[in-house]
Amino acid sequence: MTSADWPDDFEKAVRQHLPLLADGTALTSEASLLALGLDSLATVGLLVEVEETFAVQFPDEDLRAETFATPATLWAVVVRLRDGAAT
Amino acid sequence: MELSQRSAALEAAARVRTILRQHAGAADEQARVCEPGMAELRRSGLMGLLVPQERGGLGGDLSDLVEIAQVLADGCTSTAMIWAMHCQQADVLIHFAAQPLRDRLLPRIARGELYLASVTTGPSTGGHLLSSASPLTDTEQGLWVDREAPIVTGGLVADGFLITMRSSPDAPENEVSLVYADRDQMDVVERGDWDTLGMRGTHSVGLKLSGAVPRSQVVGGDGAFRTVALESMAPVGHLAWAACWLGAARSALGELVGLLRSAERPGSIDIRSELVAERLARIRMDLELVGAYLCRVTAEVSQLRAAGASLAGTATQIHLNTLKVIAADLTFRSVDRMVQLAGLSLGYRRGSALPLERHFRDLRSAALNYANDRLLTATGALTLMDRSVNLA
Ligand SMILES: Cc1cc2nc3c(=O)[nH]c(=O)nc-3n(C[C@H](O)[C@H](O)[C@H](O)COP(=O)(O)OP(=O)(O)OC[C@H]3O[C@@H](n4cnc5c(N)ncnc54)[C@H](O)[C@@H]3O)c2cc1C
């Protein structure tokens, strides 16, 4: 997956919570969010923002480290929840 | 450990405690490591409590660790903490050092020849465990370590150091590697003294360490300190520290009760009064809660480890943080109340028959020794991630 696969809103939300990602640098789908500075408080901030932006609610099963591992893993969960909610 | 070995270890701890009791006051006064206590600890085999028996250690587990830490803290909180932090470092090597390094170090630890000090705090990153400013640099002699270490418990008597370093000059601050360095491999310069309110006998001096270590002395892999911290250093630290603080507070309460039951009891304290009873009850209840929670979290961590499972799960992290924070808060509150109950002459004056003022000063450090504030922030964030509220 490339960054083109997710909307700008998502990109913006994620970037905002990564203190160690320099402004001009691309956010790759496999980047480690942890390594880019996503600590536990930032995770909460990102969660809230993504839930509001995409009108989804993460169930407990998805509140795991694996979900917040990379932009790709997080986006995959958002897509599943959004599509699930639509049907 | 078998039952007979466990009781032998407890007997050894009791012998060390006797020596620590004799010297705790002097270690506090001089702000120096209690040398007779350290010598006895090294002789006793307890430095190798967690080292497997096939490497010459006692093969103890985490419940042995928390039990013995309490016995030692009954003698001298500072020395107990030195030992507890050493065991914490030993646990890291046992679980994360590569085989050749383990083969080399564990037998030395078991023989009491290798007291391991810890260098995680940095001058600019403060107590933030998962970041380090000083980078490791690759040189022809190996990895070059150049590290300001503002607080190193027992630093002057340490035989080896586990040091957090940024993994390379280009790596971000949160890409941290843990390296082992023998004292012989380092140029050690004393930087700052240790003149503190309490925990004076830990002699946690400032050091500047520099020297080269072979790449094989990186523990847990390049940049992998986070895993080491989550699976070993932090959990074992929280268990062992909580046990030391609880041991100190128990010791204080034991001595206070002993005095209240004796003829030396000050006439002003009426132990038949409801006020005294209520105060004693509140003190006792704080220690009951810490004791029970320590026991519970020790069991949780032991079970997860036995099953080969990670300790990084949300609920387990909350439990481990909670243990550290409540142990720090409640043990300090309990000695504060003991001071109030005992009154000025017995509770507040130096040189009183009860070392309550020393316990008070020592336990004040608990909330700072890895800042409670940092852990509360993390626990609050994690709480939002655990809607099912999985309690310990
Ligand atoms: C007896 C003793 C022995 C020690 N031995 C060693 C040792 O051997 N090796 C070693 O490396 N270190 C050692 N330390 C240091 C210890 O691990 C901590 O790093 C240190 O106590 C933290 O110091 P600090 O309060 O200045 O820094 P920080 O933890 O950086 O805190 C600075 C201030 O910021 C606040 N703060 C920080 N984060 C947050 C947050 N998220 N939310 C709200 N407030 C926050 C804190 O409450 C504090 O007021 C020892 C400490 C003690 C007391």
Q: Are residues B92 and B193 in the same domain?
A: no
Q: Are residues B271 and B160 in the same domain?
A: no
pLDDT band per the 50, 70, 90 thresholds, residue B348: very high
* Residue B274 domain boundaries: 225-383
Identity of the amino acid at A27: L
Residue B283 lies in a domain: yes
* Residue A30 domain boundaries: 3-86
- Look at residues B68, B87, B114 and tell me which one is the last residue of a structural domain: B114
Residue B86 lies in a domain: yes
Residue B389 lies in a domain: no
Residue B392 lies in a domain: no
Q: Are residues B203 and B321 in the same domain?
A: no
Q: Are residues B264 and B240 in the same domain?
A: yes
Alpha-carbon distance of B41 to B44, in angstroms, equals 5
Q: What does the pLDDT read at residue B370?
A: 95
- Look at residues B192, B219, B246 and tell me which one is the last residue of a structural domain: B219
What CATH number is attached to the domain comprising A10? 1.10.1200.10
Q: Which of B320, B322, B317, B326 is nearest to B249 (CA)?
A: B326
B225-270: pLDDT as tens digits: 999 999 999 999 999 999 999 999 999 999 999 999 999 999 999 9
Q: Which of B249, B284, B258 is nearest to B73 (CA)?
A: B249
- Tally of structural domains, chain B: 3
Q: What is the distance in angstroms between the Cα of A44 and the nearest Cα belonging to chain B?
A: 6
The C-alpha angle with vertex B176 and arms to B110 and A64, in degrees rounded to 5, equals 100
Residue B388 lies in a domain: no
- Residue A66 sits at φ, ψ, to 5 deg, of -60, -35
For residue A37, count other CB atoms closer than 10 A to its CB: 16
Q: Are residues B66 and B9 in the same domain?
A: yes
- Mean pLDDT, rounded, for B217-223: 96
- Look at residues B98, B114, B130 and tell me which one is the last residue of a structural domain: B114
Q: Is the CB of B199 under 6 A from ligand 1?
A: yes
Q: What does the pLDDT read at residue B103?
A: 97
Helices in B216-348 by DSSP H: which ranges? 225-228, 234-260, 274-306, 314-343
Q: Are residues B232 and B378 in the same domain?
A: yes
Q: Give DSSP secondary structure letters for B165-191.
A: EESSTTS-TT-EEEEEEEGGGSEEEEE
Q: Are residues B172 and B193 in the same domain?
A: yes
Q: Quote ipTM for the complex.
A: 0.82
Residue B175 lies in a domain: yes
What CATH number is attached to the domain comprising B176? 2.40.110.10
Q: Are residues B62 and B129 in the same domain?
A: no
b/e map of A39-61 (b: 16 or more CB within 10 Å)?
bbebbbebbebbeeebebebeee
Q: Is the CB of B120 under 6 A from ligand 1?
A: yes
Radius of gyration for chain B, computed over Cα atoms and rounded to the nearest angstrom: 21
Identity of the amino acid at B304: L
User: Which of B172, B377, B387 has its CB closest to that of A60?
Assistant: B387
CB A63 to CB B387 under 8 A? yes
Q: What is the distance in angstroms between the Cα of B381 and the nearest Cα belonging to chain A?
A: 5
Q: Are residues B61 and B75 in the same domain?
A: yes
Distance (Å) from CA B371 to ligand 1 centroid: 5
Residue B390 lies in a domain: no
Alpha-carbon distance of B180 to B164, in angstroms, equals 9
What CATH number is attached to the domain comprising B310? 1.20.140.10
For residue B35, count other CB atoms closer than 10 A to its CB: 12
Phi-psi region of B56 (alpha: psi -120 to 50; beta: other; left: phi over 0): left
B20-47: pLDDT as tens digits: 999 999 999 999 999 999 999 999 999 9
